Amino acid sequence: MFLYMLVFLAYHSSRWMPRNQRLKFQILNTLVITLVLVPQIYVMGRPKSSRYCKQPLLNNLSASVASSFIAAGFSVTFTLIEPIPQGLWASYHAFGLLSCGQGLCTAILTLTAGDCVKTTPELYHLSLILTVASALSTGFFMVRGGLWLTNPNPGTDLSRHSERPAVPR
Which pLDDT belongs to residue 19?
80
Segments in the chain below pLDDT 50: 158-164
Domain presence at residue 155: no
Confidence (pLDDT) at 167:
56
What pLDDT score does 23 carry? 82
| Residue 138 confidence (pLDDT) | 93
User: What global pTM score does this model have?
Assistant: 0.82
Specify if 110 maps to a domain: yes
In a domain, 76, yes or no: yes
Q: Does any domain span residue 28?
A: yes
**Tell me, what's the pLDDT at 160?**
46
Residue 44: HSE in the Cβ half-sphere, 13 Å Cα cutoff? 15
Residue 19 inside a domain? The answer is yes
Long-range pairs for 45-53: beta carbons < 8 A, 24 or more residues apart:
46/122, 46/123, 48/119, 48/120, 48/121, 48/122, 48/123, 49/120, 49/122, 49/123, 51/119, 51/120, 52/119, 53/113, 53/115, 53/116, 53/119, 53/120, 53/123, 53/124
158 assigned to some structural domain: no
Structural domain includes residue 44 = yes
Q: What is the pLDDT of residue 93?
A: 94
User: Which residues span the domain enclosing 66?
Assistant: 2-141
Is 54 part of a structural domain of the chain?
A: yes
Q: How many domains does the chain have?
A: 1
Longest CA–CA span in the chain (Å) reads 74
> What does the pLDDT read at residue 1?
87
pLDDT value of position 161: 43
